[in-house]
Amino acid sequence: LFNLFSPSEKPPKALPPGPSTFPLIGNIIWLTKSFFQIEPILRSLHLKLGPMVTLHIGSRPSIFIFDRSLAHQALVQNGSIFSDRPKTLPTNQIMNSNQRNISSGAYGPTWRIIRRNLTSEILHPSRIKSFSHARKWVWEILFHSLTTKAKTGESVEVLSHFRHGMFCLLVLMCFGDKLSQEQIAAIEVVARKILLSLDRFNILNFCPSVTKVLLRHKWRELSQLRKEQEEVLIPLIRAREKAKQELKNNESDDYVLAYVDTLLDLELPLEKRKLNDGEMVTLTSEFLNAGTDTTSTALQWIMANLVKYPHIQNKLWLEIKSVAGDNEVIKEDDLQKMAYLKAVILEGLRRHPPGHFVLPHRATEDTVLGGFKVPKDGTINFMVADMGWDPDVWEDPMAFKPERFLKTGDSDEQVFDITGSREIKMMPFGVGRRICPALGLALLHLEYFVANFIWKFEWKAVDGDSISLEEKQEFTVVMKTPLKAQISVRKKTN
């Protein structure tokens, strides 16, 4: 437990401060607001009340942490208390097989096994390497559609291209690389339909026993949506199961392990059984959804800044040129030699983290943080965007300056540690035991695609348009005015 008070002192009884509201009505009003609507309210409360703020949302207190060293105390130094998840809402339970996925799973043996399966079987650096042909395939699809735009002079709606590219890539990692573009499109249609309609079902959570009667058609609609998802994914899982057997029997060199293969082999530690179809659907969908919007949003923000600031784009292009020479495509090994590229990506994630909060955490014991009580079952949220914009850590924090991530002089100082294990300066992937398990993959995807985009094309604002950095909440925090760019193919002699 935290040792923030001496044994003679009594542990504090008070929760972190919060606004005064009418108990029941206030709790319900917060429930109707999205995190994005709450964020500005929290910021003004933070200025008045300090680094920890409590809102009574629904039946439990929700504590919001602004301070990076308190975040470190909670998530790193006391990770065993702060790594659980709150119980998910009844509508989400249908989509996540009753919390049987990584992101919503309770901190315990089942979560540990399914998370470790993903990190060691698929996201291990050597495994990530085995998917390089899939990345090249997706790059070629993007390259062809962008070249057509460049030739016709049409502007590019950047996000839809990026999102489709990221989705294809994750589908191939998930189901194997023998899928056609049509099959991928069918998975994408149902995944987007679900993502865009989930908010409509929130009302069902207000008093499920009542809404199950009064709004039963809406509950049916939700079950129908889940059924649609299963009807698309289960046949693909079965087909992969068969193909895997055949490829293995023939000892084929073509066999590249896919996420589904690992799930087919997995055994749940408590129940001592294999995953059922519903659980497989839940886990494969999590893989596709967790990685698509996050990465494509980050990519859009980064490219927006490269369009807005042509001198940064040019500096990056010069670095790529110095490493890539005459290569048509940037090779993955070459990315390691591009320090400025890495700085651009990190600055993008600092200035525009795709999620302004990590997923909510739950405290498993009564404990003390920052001199306040954090009650057992309380929900804890971490203010990701605000930490990355803290003027005590980052000079001129709202400016886009990749140089801040470049090592100066020849000191032995480590390159920036985004895991925050020793100290948190920003946390776009979270920190501690629940840190995004795919941060290495996400960084590789961002580096690989940004490098190739800039290597092959020059990106400019559409005539007369300035690039607005205003934000809007969707699944992630996206550009309110989506980036449109005019692109031209770079000439070798440029």
Does residue 301 touch ligand HEM according to CB under 6 A?
no
The verdict on 257 binding ligand HEM (CB under 6 A) reads: no
174 is in an annotated binding site: no
- Identify the CA nearest to 240 among candidates 222, 221, 257: 257
- Residue 429 as a binder of ligand HEM (CB under 6 A): the answer is yes
Rounded CA separation 95/377 (Å):
23
102 touching ligand HEM, by CB under 6 A: yes
Rg over CA atoms, the chain: 23
- Asked if 135 is part of the footprint of ligand HEM (rule: CB under 6 A), the reply reads no
Query: In the block, which residue shows the tokens 């390691």?
Result: 336
Looking from the CA of 116 toward its CB, the CA atoms found within 13 Å total 11
* Residue matched to tokens 């194997």: 176
Query: With contact defined as beta carbons under 8 Å apart, do 387 and 363 qualify?
Result: no
Is 438 among the residues that bind ligand HEM (CB under 6 A)? yes
> Which residue is associated with the tokens 């499920």?
208
Q: Which C-beta is closer to ligand HEM: that of 317 or that of 449?
A: 449
**Scanning the structure block, which residue is given the tokens 């540990």?**
112
Q: Is 161 in the site for ligand HEM (CB under 6 A)?
A: no
For ligand HEM, give the closer residue by CB, 170 or 179: 170
Q: 61 or 432, CB closer to ligand HEM?
A: 432
354 binds ligand HEM (CB under 6 A): yes
138 binds ligand HEM (CB under 6 A): no
Q: What does each C-alpha distance from 166 to 102, 142, 310 come to in angstroms?
A: 20, 10, 25
Distance, CA of 187 to CA of 392 (rounded, Å): 45
The least distance separating ligand HEM from the CB of residue 355, rounded to whole angstroms, comes to: 5
Helix (H) or strand (E) holding 304: helix 277-308
H or E stretch covering 487: strand 484-489
What backbone phi and psi angles, to 5 degrees, belong to 381? -120, 150
Q: How far is the CB of 62 from ligand HEM (least distance, A)?
A: 14
The reply on whether position 388 binds ligand HEM by CB under 6 A is: no
Q: CB of residue 382 vs ligand HEM: minimum separation in angstroms?
A: 7
Q: Which region among 6-14, 206-214, 272-280, 292-300 touches ligand HEM (by CB under 6 A)?
A: 292-300
* Near ligand HEM by CB under 6 A: residue from 348, 388, 420, 428: 428
Q: How many residues line the site for ligand HEM (CB under 6 A)?
A: 25
Question: Do residues 394 and 404 make contact, with C-beta atoms less than 8 angstroms apart?
Answer: yes
Known binding residues for heme: 436
Which residues make up the interface to ligand HEM (CB under 6 A)?
102-103, 115, 170, 286-287, 290-291, 294-295, 298, 354-355, 358-359, 428-430, 434-438, 441-442
Known binding residues: 436
